[in-house]
A and B are shown apart, each in its own frame.
Chain A
Amino acid sequence: MSVPSYVLISGPEQVIAERALASTLEAIREEEPDVEVVRLEGSLYEPGSLHVHTSPSLFGGRKAVVVRDLDEGNDALIEDLVAIVAQGSDAVLVVTHKSGTRGKKALDALKKAKVRIIEAPAIKSDRDKTAFVTNEFRSKGRKVAPEAVRALLEAVGKDLRELAQACQQLVDDTTGVIDAATVERYHGGKVEATGFRVADAAVAGEAAEALRLLRHALATGLDPVPIVAVLASQLRQVARVASAGRGRSADLAKQLGMAPWQVDRARAAARGWDGDRLGRAIQAVAAADFDVKGGGRDPVYAVERAVLEITRQRAGGAT
């Protein structure tokens, strides 16, 4: 597969962008083993250096010029890029661009010059991450059980780079099908809990699960203050949806200024609550918020108490 003169790697996901860059350079090397690779940083660009590197060399070797982070580039870089694309380049030009409209002039010029675009889209949702992990293993020729993927995401799912490393480690260190037990052996007991998961468990009345997640969240460095804020916002949504009555969730979403999926989720969570108990739960959270901001002695105790109070109210509220 031959590489065209211009390659644009566009998208915010650094892991994927780096891989795309590596594979592009690999492809160039296959064609031309002694190619010289020049790397330029967008933010540190000095006017004219692109011209220097892309003009034909006396010694005849081909060059590949990598320009990283065009979106942080200065005006000189954008001007030089446009000029070079207009006059044609002797070297292969690989440009990476994270996001935003900065450098749009250069991007447009590249697109006009039939650039090869490699996308590196952000991977945020759990579904994207599942696909990413599955693909990681498949590309290395390994089979993975769905439960193993889920367990892996729970343990190290926050950062994609970390996730990629974890996949690599599992591929290198194990043999055979990767199942939940394998993941458990390497990442057992580690859960990346967020305030949202704590709040979900608490609002659903699962006291033990909520406390476990809370402890994990605190142990991995989450501050009590944002956890209380999430508890408050989840309860608020449940309360507002519960008291808004029936109606299509899309209408309700517009009326309450929430997203439709939030309405649906809050509705599901609202089952098993009534107004009085929900009110007491919100009051417990307000008291906890005061305590974590200096009103009480022990912020961790304050959150824990609020979580327990919420689950107790959910369970029936007697005392």
Chain B
Amino acid sequence: MSVWRDVIGQEQAVTTLRDAVADRARMTHAWLLTGPPGSGRSTAARAFAAALLCPDGGCGTCHECHTVLDGSHADLTVMATQGLSIQVKDARELAQLAQHRPSVGAWRVIVIEDADRLTERAADALLKALEEPVERTVWLLCAPSVEDVIITIRSRSRHVRLRTPPVAAVAELLTRRDGIEPAMAEYAARAAQSHVGLARRLARDEGARGRRRDILRLAGRIRSLGDAMEAAANLAAIATQEQSASSAERDAAEKTRLLEQLGADPEARTQPPHIRSQVAALEKEQKTRATRFGRDVVDRSLVDLLSIYRDALVTQAGSPVELVNADLADEVRTLAGALSSEQLLLAMDAIGTARERIEANVPPLLALEAMAISLRLPR
């Protein structure tokens, strides 16, 4: 039993990090962990933190390991944002915190889970703390790729690259850790393209599986302009559905808690001004969170959609690579028959463009419409 147990399919990276724990000479003050979404960046960062703080170098059973892994250790700070970006005031707080000695363990560990969401000013605020480290502070930054953090952060940290874990490893983790049946785990891991968190959700939630299938089936159905407009509206609607289903409850709970903390009466129809302003601030935060969540959901749907075109291309090329959507073989074959490989590539390109546009704040519906129009099958 070791803290590294849940970091799957990353032998090289784990070896590097383990060596650093064992040998002070191989340790450094700032690490940049990169890897595709779902490859376990934050899991790896936590495991590394646990190994650093554990007296036995990461036994996975002691008090230190437990508290680090569930995020309550006194010397561990985890910065994760649910909004669109990490603001400069949060970064300044972290920079200040970095100057403190650790209180119980050997290191003060600061983990930034979404270093790619640091705003430029926030990243600048961290530079000094990263450049002239206090002796026993270590920074762990996580980002999808090195290009996602500004160059001055890149040059001040040591880079460890995680790769996409193999499907078998993800399935094994789902079975072992979450008690999911091997067949389902295998399907989910493949469908989620080795994204651990997504795979778990797919395996557990029948609704998520159904929505994924609906999205994939869209590909073979778009023939006329009307179909395209409808498909785009459906895709956007699925996103809003997921968004409201998952956030409405939490938003309400947060508001009740805030009112309780302020000693206000949650039943009152109108609140006094000073409470109103706090509630408004909370609601604004919730709204940015919902925006980000909605975008993430659309993006995920598009990645799913991409996979079926990829499968069609693989089938056409006749290469012995495994299909992502083995369960939708008919749809894959239809697509492979209806479109030439050039057209398939153009379709994938259109999906990529839509993702890029949504990222750049184009209204999802418009970007999806433009994409769906490009995905029309020839009559």
Contacts and interface: CB of A to CB of B under 8 A. Distances in A.
B229 A283 contact: no
Interface in A195-253: 229, 232, 236, 239-240, 242-244
Interface in A124-158: none
A275 interface: yes
B350 to A, nearest CB: 9
B228 interface: yes
Contacts of B376: 279
Nearest to A279: B373
Interface in A255-309: 275-276, 278-280, 282-283, 285-287, 289-290, 293-295
B225 A287 contact: no
B320 interface: no
A294 B225 CA distance: 28
A206 to B, nearest CB: 23
A278 B372 CA distance: 13
Contacts of B365: 236
Nearest to B354: A286
A295 B370 CA distance: 16
A278 B370 CA distance: 11
B369 A243 contact: no
B362 A289 contact: yes
A283 to B, nearest CB: 5
Contacts of A240: 226, 229
A282 B373 contact: yes
A283 B362 contact: no
Contacts of B229: 236, 239-240, 243
B211 interface: no
Contact of B370 (A229, A276, A282, A294): A282
B212 interface: no
Given A232-B363, A289-B357, A293-B362, A283 B373 contact: yes
A290 B357 CA distance: 6
A285 B357 CA distance: 12
A244 B227 CA distance: 10
B360 interface: yes
Interface string B262-288: 000000000000000000000000000
B360 A279 contact: no
Contacts of B224: 243, 275
Nearest to B374: A283
A287 B370 CA distance: 8
Interface residues of B, number: 20
B225 A243 contact: yes
A289 B357 CA distance: 8
B370 A236 contact: no
A290 B225 contact: no
B228 to A, nearest CB: 7
Contacts of A242: 225-226
Nearest to B361: A293
B366 interface: yes
Contact of A283 (B356, B360, B361, B370): B370
Given A236-B229, A243-B229, A290 B373 contact: no
Contacts of A282: 366, 369-370, 373
A236 B369 CA distance: 9
Nearest to B227: A243
A178 B314 CA distance: 75
Contacts of B361: 293-294
B367 interface: yes
Interface in B329-361: 356-357, 360-361
A239 B362 contact: no
B226 A286 contact: no
A244 B374 CA distance: 20
Interface of A: 229, 232, 236, 239-240, 242-244, 275-276, 278-280, 282-283, 285-287, 289-290, 293-295
24 contacts: A232-B363, A232-B366, A236-B366, A239-B229, A242-B226, A243-B224, A243-B225, A244-B226, A275-B226, A276-B225, A278-B225, A279-B376, A282-B366, A282-B370, A282-B373, A283-B373, A283-B374, A285-B366, A286-B357, A286-B369, A289-B366, A289-B367, A290-B362, A293-B362
Given A236-B365, A239-B229, A279-B225, 15 more contacts: A232-B363, A232-B366, A236-B366, A244-B226, A275-B224, A278-B225, A279-B376, A282-B366, A282-B369, A282-B373, A286-B370, A289-B362, A290-B357, A290-B360, A290-B367
A-B pairs, 9 with minimum CB distance: A243-B226, A286-B370, A275-B225, A279-B373, A283-B370, A289-B362, A290-B357, A232-B366, A293-B361
